Amino acid sequence: MTSVPIALGPARTTLLEQAIAAGGGTVADLDSARALVWDGEPDGFPERLPDGIEWVQLFSAGVEEWFDSGVFERHPGVVFTSAAGAFANSVAEHALMLLLAGVRYLPEHIRARSWRQAEFFPHVGTLRGATVTIVGAGGIGRELITLLHPFGVRVIAVNRSGTPVSAPGVVETVPAHRLSEVWPRTDHVVVAAPATADTRHLVGKAELAQLKPTSWVINIARGSLVDTDALVQALCDGTIGGAGLDVTDPEPLPDGHPLWDLPNAIVTPHDSNPPHLRTAAFADHVTENIRRFVSGHDLIARIDIVAGY
Amino acid sequence: MTSVPIALGPARTTLLEQAIAAGGGTVADLDSARALVWDGEPDGFPERLPDGIEWVQLFSAGVEEWFDSGVFERHPGVVFTSAAGAFANSVAEHALMLLLAGVRYLPEHIRARSWRQAEFFPHVGTLRGATVTIVGAGGIGRELITLLHPFGVRVIAVNRSGTPVSAPGVVETVPAHRLSEVWPRTDHVVVAAPATADTRHLVGKAELAQLKPTSWVINIARGSLVDTDALVQALCDGTIGGAGLDVTDPEPLPDGHPLWDLPNAIVTPHDSNPPHLRTAAFADHVTENIRRFVSGHDLIARIDIVAGY
């Protein structure tokens, strides 16, 4: 098998050069390359790619900024892949951490300065036997299903098509257009769907009202999927048990925002996938996609320009 | 199969009556019973059991108080079983919650009142690829191994005999007498062994000194297994990353104790297995042991009077 010329930009790093080589590629100039691995933002991306470029591998998992940038429209004949899935492990682990911390009442434990056992007892819950709805069955959602299974959780998976998600612990798959049926019969909700016009404020006042006073809402996707004002109100009123948010709307969450002070809100500043974990995960993703490109197999995380993610 | 007469004390509850019936027993007076399910403390336990009692099922998982009470010595011919294992699910879930919260830097996130992303990034770790030593491969330890597997953790299991623990994710089983070899090559430690003279201060100054500045020590067993003074010193000095403690020594932890104020200590007041979760789990345990008693099979969690647990 001949080595396939792959360009690497905006800068070359040893880690990604090795990742390209491991997949069967050779780092080459853009003009002689068949593909481009772009380890940067839309800013600085080539205005017009050479005709020889068939495929571009982007670094980010969420690609709203890339849609806004017009890069896809300028290159209708080029296949773009995101890093969706590459960072799924770390984000799914973070989601489970937020859910467990919420269900077992950790925030108040962290604030405690004395042994408040009798007071805390009734607030410590368990995931065992709980029903958890995961909205979005992409890389993060599927990884989370795997993590949740040994806890004895019953998962309701929500995806666009409703095509059954076949994984241990999944008791039901619901298509997105029937999501409204799910709220009254779930214990907790994890939002792991892409940000699109359709998913904006997917969790709003009406949805929160149907959850339980012990329900936790976890968002590790994008802030826009949850109606922040409605969430703050539900947290103040005790309509739900709490919220674990790695993403917020607005983001960054400004100082003085009520979410900082609510005892039943956990905010992590979009750090579920920190740079030091991301780099190694992206290199593995690049190797796998180059291996597929070289051998003519379907690429992972191909961006659907029409669907918008 | 005839129904076996089982006594229930100190009080009869509907849940346990049903549990006894479900296992093939009938609730009977102590004098006519072949076994006793004791849903209480050593205080109030019969001074002398009738000769017809062959077996006593106790409610607690840790049985130090029962050894101290002299109940076992007064009844050398009776088999005693604890509730060890019955509560393993909830305690193992709690242990994993503490470990995840520590590794992903949750305590400081909970205290934050502003978006400190750049500051937090380097502190957010992952369990993926980490080596976790679990000291004690009883019910809790084994359940924890099951929970940890999908996270991509390498587990070192420590038990008395060193007989290999065969479970996915266990890369090595180390006998307790070789525990000293483990400290330099583990990332985190979970203490899940019974409290005996041999396990007192199992984690002390010398052990902590061999761990990493990112290591978390989790104790969900008994406070005496960890040398509290040495732990406080290690937490102050940054010798280890942090500690998650559901049990402490002394317990309850008194107000003003340094562990309450250390930012890298998480204390939960022995509430990993709260009463509302315990009752249902104990009922299931009773049913299973009565089923075994009725059919002449080995009982679960038989107390070893010589070994002391």
Taking CB atoms and an 8 Å limit, are B117 and A149 in contact across chains? no
Q: First vs last Cα of chain B: how many Å apart?
A: 33
What's the average model confidence in pLDDT over A139-148? Answer: 96
pTM value?
0.83
Query: Is residue A1's pLDDT more than 80?
Result: no
Task: Identify the domain containing residue A66 by its residue range.
Answer: 4-82+275-295
Do both B99 and B207 map to the same domain?
yes
Taking CB atoms and an 8 Å limit, are A275 and B114 in contact across chains? no
Taking CB atoms and an 8 Å limit, are B114 and A255 in contact across chains? yes
Which residue on chain B is closest to A90 by alpha carbon?
A: B126
User: What CA–CA distance (Å, rounded) separates A16 from A35?
Assistant: 14
Structure tokens at B69: 């009470």
CB burial readout A218-255, b (16+ within 10 A) else e: bbbbbbbbbbbebbbebbeeebbbbbbbbbbbebebee
Q: Is A292 a catalytic residue?
A: no
Do both A175 and A254 map to the same domain?
yes
Strand, helix or coil at B4? strand
Smallest CA–CA distance, residue B168 to chain A, in Å, is: 12
Q: Between B139-148 and B88-103, two packed helices, what is the crossing angle to 10 degrees?
A: 50
C-alpha pair distances (Å), A207 with each of A130, A189, A195, A237? 19, 11, 18, 15
Where in B4-100 does DSSP place strands (E)? 4-9, 25-27, 35-38, 55-58, 79-81
Report the domain count for chain B. Answer: 2
Do both B38 and B139 map to the same domain?
no
Q: First vs last Cα of chain A: how many Å apart?
A: 33
User: What CA–CA distance (Å, rounded) separates A33 from A54?
Assistant: 9
What is the CB-side half-sphere exposure of residue A51 using CA atoms within 13 A? 0
Residue B304 inside a domain? The answer is no
Do both B161 and B61 map to the same domain?
no
Among residues A207, A222, A285, A288, the one annotated as catalytic is A222
pLDDT tens by residue, A187-214: 999 999 999 999 999 999 999 999 999 9
Do both B217 and B201 map to the same domain?
yes
Taking CB atoms and an 8 Å limit, are A275 and B96 in contact across chains? no
Query: Is residue A40's pLDDT more than 90?
Result: yes
User: Could you give the percent of chain A with pLDDT greater than 70?
Assistant: 99
User: Could you give the percent of chain A with pLDDT greater than 90?
Assistant: 90
Smallest CA–CA distance, residue B97 to chain A, in Å, is: 6
What pLDDT is stored for residue A308 in this prediction? 75
Query: Is residue A103's pLDDT more than 90?
Result: yes
Residue B306 inside a domain? The answer is no
Q: What is the CATH number of the domain that holds A211?
A: 3.40.50.720
Taking CB atoms and an 8 Å limit, are B126 and A252 in contact across chains? no
Do both A98 and A122 map to the same domain?
yes
Asked if the peptide bond before residue A122 counts as cis, ω within 30 degrees of 0, the response is no
What pLDDT is stored for residue B15 in this prediction? 92
Which residue on chain A is closest to B124 by alpha carbon?
A: A274
What pLDDT is stored for residue A252 in this prediction? 98
Residue A300 inside a domain? The answer is no
Taking CB atoms and an 8 Å limit, are A109 and B261 in contact across chains? no
User: What CA–CA distance (Å, rounded) separates A204 from A197?
Assistant: 14
Residue B302 inside a domain? The answer is no
Taking CB atoms and an 8 Å limit, are B267 and A89 in contact across chains? no
Among residues A12, A270, A278, A291, the one annotated as catalytic is A270
Annotate B148-197 with DSSP letters as a single string.
HGGGT-EEEEEESS-PPP-STTEEEEEEGGGGGGTGGG-SEEEE-----T
Do both A70 and A104 map to the same domain?
no
Mutate to test the interface with A, among B91, B108, B114, B147 (most CBs of A within 10 A): B114
Structure tokens at A222: 């994008």
Residue B11 inside a domain? The answer is yes
What pLDDT is stored for residue B1 in this prediction? 53
Structure tokens at B49: 């059991």
- CB neighbour list of residue A243: distance below 8 Å, 6 or more residues apart: A102, A216, A217, A218, A219, A226, A231, A235, A259, A264, A265, A266
Out of A1-10, A130-139, A148-157, B241-250, pick the least confident: A1-10
User: What CA–CA distance (Å, rounded) separates A25 from A32?
Assistant: 13
Structure tokens at A28: 């080459």
Q: Is A270 a catalytic residue?
A: yes
Q: Are B23 and B288 in contact (CB under 8 A)?
A: yes
Across the A:B interface, residue pairs with CB atoms under 8 Å apart total 143
Q: What angle do CA A19, A23, A24 make, to 5 degrees?
A: 120
Residue A308 inside a domain? The answer is no
Active site residues of B: 222, 251, 270
Of A147, A185, A141, residue with least CA distance to A165: A141
Do both B260 and B187 map to the same domain?
yes
Smallest CA–CA distance, residue A86 to chain B, in Å, is: 13
Out of A168-177, A260-269, B80-89, B148-157, pick the least confident: B80-89
Residue B303 inside a domain? The answer is no
Strand, helix or coil at A246? coil
Do both B194 and B128 map to the same domain?
yes
User: What CA–CA distance (Å, rounded) separates B159 from B161?
Assistant: 6
Which residue on chain A is closest to B109 by alpha carbon?
A: A268
Smallest CA–CA distance, residue B31 to chain A, in Å, is: 36
Dihedral angle sign, alpha carbons of residues B231, B233, B237, B239: negative
Under the banding of pLDDT at 50, 70 and 90, the label for residue A139 is confident
Residue B305 inside a domain? The answer is no
Dihedral angle sign, alpha carbons of residues B269, B275, B280, B286: positive
What pLDDT is stored for residue B164 in this prediction? 96
The one-letter amino acid code at B51 reads: D
Query: Is residue A182's pLDDT more than 90?
Result: yes
Q: Are B244 and B219 in contact (CB under 8 A)?
A: yes
What pLDDT is stored for residue A92 in this prediction? 97
Do both A49 and A198 map to the same domain?
no
Do both A135 and A75 map to the same domain?
no
Do both A65 and A146 map to the same domain?
no
Per-residue pLDDT of chain B (309 residues; tens, 9 = 90+): 568 999 999 999 999 999 999 999 999 999 999 999 999 999 999 999 999 999 999 998 888 899 999 999 999 999 999 998 888 999 999 999 999 999 999 999 999 999 999 999 999 999 998 999 999 988 899 999 999 999 999 999 999 999 999 999 999 999 999 999 999 999 999 999 999 999 999 999 999 999 999 999 999 999 999 999 999 999 999 999 999 999 999 999 999 999 999 999 999 999 999 999 988 889 989 999 999 999 999 999 999 988 877
User: What CA–CA distance (Å, rounded) separates A168 from A254?
Assistant: 40
Of residues A84 and A69, which shows the higher confidence score? A69
What pLDDT is stored for residue B220 in this prediction? 98
ipTM of the complex: 0.83
